[in-house]
């Protein structure tokens, strides 16, 4: 069993569709309670443009759920675009007059956007055909699917949160005391950062970029806690969970880099300052790790592409958005003459929202790894399988065996 999803939908089309497969039967799922709050979180954040004042994203469940519970069938979710009202002619599915086709035509591709490469690849004359689907509006459908994954992971006691660690050149300090509920703390900040002092400078940076007709990117961090050791595998390249997480996160619009745990900093240090020493605590999380744990978590919760039971920590770099109110130079697709790139309504910074999308992609990847390891057509069956694994981990973790004096290897491995 795998947890998979697909989306369809254009930014100013009728709406977005999310088709989620692999969810076992018997999962309680209520759109207003489980999906809509996540969609609302994605719409927030300082630096967003006029569009978010138009939309009030909500998910309509059209298949796969009956009387508040999944039935094991594919789940279809719809998020309607309110802005569609203003685009019915330009974005109509039906054939239209030539003059209508000129409406909202885009022939000045933006450097950094999919506009030009899309026009070349799909043999379109109007970059509107490209940007409508390339738009980050699609991430609403990802967050809807991610909310289903989060609901499933919650059954195992796994939770996922995020926060902004850098916006442009402004770096946030890590709090001295980590909040119990990461999202409750970060959602309270307009930039979803845990450093109130950096938050002020981030707001100033967004204001300054806006004034200059410019945009800003940054870095957010996603943290998943409560995972058992043993998800993912080292045995084949495409089963390594760190690779799968990095791919899922890099697939989000405008993301340019992913670090796991210490990430690139690890490349600078000696091994002794990187690797996390192991200890055993019979009072520790025996059901998740057999009682083994780390004195720190530089590995970001993954060794050999497998969860260690420590929090999974991914940091993701987002480039500045490519729609600039003071545009860069480009080429007019019709005349091939040098011209300013198109200026479209857009955001100055969307990093706060990107963190919420990052949570969704991590949730989907982890839900997939959970189903891969434990299987189950119903939630009851899945949880029975999880329980069996946990009991075994706990039993083996607490079992004491005599160390053999004849052991030829001193390494303790063998």
* C-alpha R_g of the chain: 24
Selection from 121, 84, 122, 119 nearest residue 105 by Cα:
119
Strand partners, 25: 378
SS3 readout for 110-126: CCCCCHHHHHHHHCCCC
DSSP assignments along 48-102, one per residue: --THHHH-----EEEESEETTEE-SS-EEEEEE-GGGGGGTTTT-SS---HHHHH
Q: How far is the CB of 194 from ligand EPS (least distance, A)?
A: 23
Q: Is 257 in the site for ligand EPS (CB under 6 A)?
A: no
Q: Is 365 in the site for ligand EPS (CB under 6 A)?
A: no
* Piece in contact with ligand EPS (CB under 6 A), picked from 30-38, 158-166, 194-202, 341-349: 341-349
- Residue 76 is encoded by which pair of tokens? 């279809």
Decide if 148 contacts 20 (C-beta within 8 A).
Answer: yes
Please give the helix or strand (H or E) that residue 162 lies within, else none: strand 159-167
- Which of 41, 107, 128, 137 touches ligand EPS (CB under 6 A)? 137
Report the residue number, 57 or 276, with the smaller CB distance to ligand EPS: 57
Q: Is 345 in the site for ligand EPS (CB under 6 A)?
A: yes
- Which of 18, 183, 186, 346 touches ligand EPS (CB under 6 A)? 346
Region for residue 216 given its phi and psi (left: phi exceeds 0; alpha: psi -120 to 50; beta: otherwise): beta
Q: Is 186 in the site for ligand EPS (CB under 6 A)?
A: no
The residues near 197 (Cβ < 8 Å, ≥ 6 apart) are: 173
Report the residue number, 249 or 370, with the smaller CB distance to ligand EPS: 249
- Which of 171, 214, 344, 381 touches ligand EPS (CB under 6 A)? 344
* Piece in contact with ligand EPS (CB under 6 A), picked from 160-168, 175-183, 332-340, 342-350: 342-350
* Piece in contact with ligand EPS (CB under 6 A), picked from 47-55, 58-66, 277-285, 392-400: 47-55
Q: How far is the CB of 254 from ligand EPS (least distance, A)?
A: 8
Report the residue number, 44 or 243, with the smaller CB distance to ligand EPS: 44
Selection from 341, 309, 306, 307 nearest residue 325 by Cα:
341
Q: Is 136 in the site for ligand EPS (CB under 6 A)?
A: yes
Q: Which of residues 50-79 bind ligand EPS (CB under 6 A)?
A: 51, 55
Report the residue number, 110 or 166, with the smaller CB distance to ligand EPS: 110
Write phi, then psi, for 20 (nearest 5 degrees): -110, 125
Q: List interacting residues with ligand EPS (CB under 6 A).
A: 11, 49, 51, 55, 83, 135-137, 139-140, 323, 344-347
């Amino acid at each position: 069993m795998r947890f998979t999803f697909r989306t369809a939908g254009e930014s100013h089309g009728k709406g977005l569709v999310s088709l989620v497969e692999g969810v076992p039967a018997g999962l309680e799922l209520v759109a207003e309670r489980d999906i809509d709050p996540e969609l609302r979180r994605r719409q927030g954040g300082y630096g967003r443009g006029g569009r978010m004042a138009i939309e009030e994203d909500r998910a309509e469940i059209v298949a796969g759920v009956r009387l508040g519970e999944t039935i094991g069938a594919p789940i279809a979710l719809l998020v309607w675009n309110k802005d569609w009202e203003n685009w019915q002619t330009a974005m109509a599915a039906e054939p239209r007059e030539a003059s209508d086709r000129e409406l909202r035509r885009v022939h000045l591709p933006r450097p950094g956007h999919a506009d030009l490469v899309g026009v070349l690849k799909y043999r379109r004359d109007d970059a509107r055909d490209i940007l409508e689907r390339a738009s980050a509006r699609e991430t609403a459908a990802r967050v809807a699917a991610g909310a289903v994954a989060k609901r499933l992971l919650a059954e195992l006691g796994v939770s996922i949160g995020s926060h902004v660690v850098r916006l442009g050149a402004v770096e946030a300090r890590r709090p001295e005391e980590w909040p119990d509920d990461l999202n409750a703390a970060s959602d309270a900040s307009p930039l979803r950062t845990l450093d109130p002092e950096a938050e002020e400078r981030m707001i100033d940076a967004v204001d300054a970029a806006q004034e200059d007709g410019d945009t800003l990117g940054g870095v957010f961090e996603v943290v998943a806690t409560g995972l058992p050791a043993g998800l993912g595998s080292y045995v084949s390249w495409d089963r390594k969970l760190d690779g799968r997480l990095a791919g899922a996160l890099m697939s989000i619009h405008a993301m340019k880099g992913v670090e796991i745990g210490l990430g690139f900093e690890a490349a600078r240090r000696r091994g002794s300052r990187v690797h996390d020493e192991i200890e055993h605590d019979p009072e520790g999380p025996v059901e998740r790790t057999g009682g083994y744990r780390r004195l720190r978590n530089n590995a970001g919760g993954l060794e050999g592409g497998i969860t260690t039971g420590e929090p999974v920590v991914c940091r993701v770099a987002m480039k500045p958005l490519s729609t600039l109110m003071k545009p860069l130079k480009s080429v007019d697709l019709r005349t091939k003459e040098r011209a300013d790139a198109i200026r479209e309504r857009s955001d100055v910074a969307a990093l706060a929202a990107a963190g919420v999308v990052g949570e969704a992609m991590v949730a989907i990847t982890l839900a997939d790894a959970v189903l891969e390891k434990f299987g189950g057509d119903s939630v009851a069956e899945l949880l029975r399988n999880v329980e069996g694994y946990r009991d075994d981990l706990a039993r083996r973790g607490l079992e004491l065996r005599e160390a053999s004096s004849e052991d030829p290897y001193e390494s303790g491995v063998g």
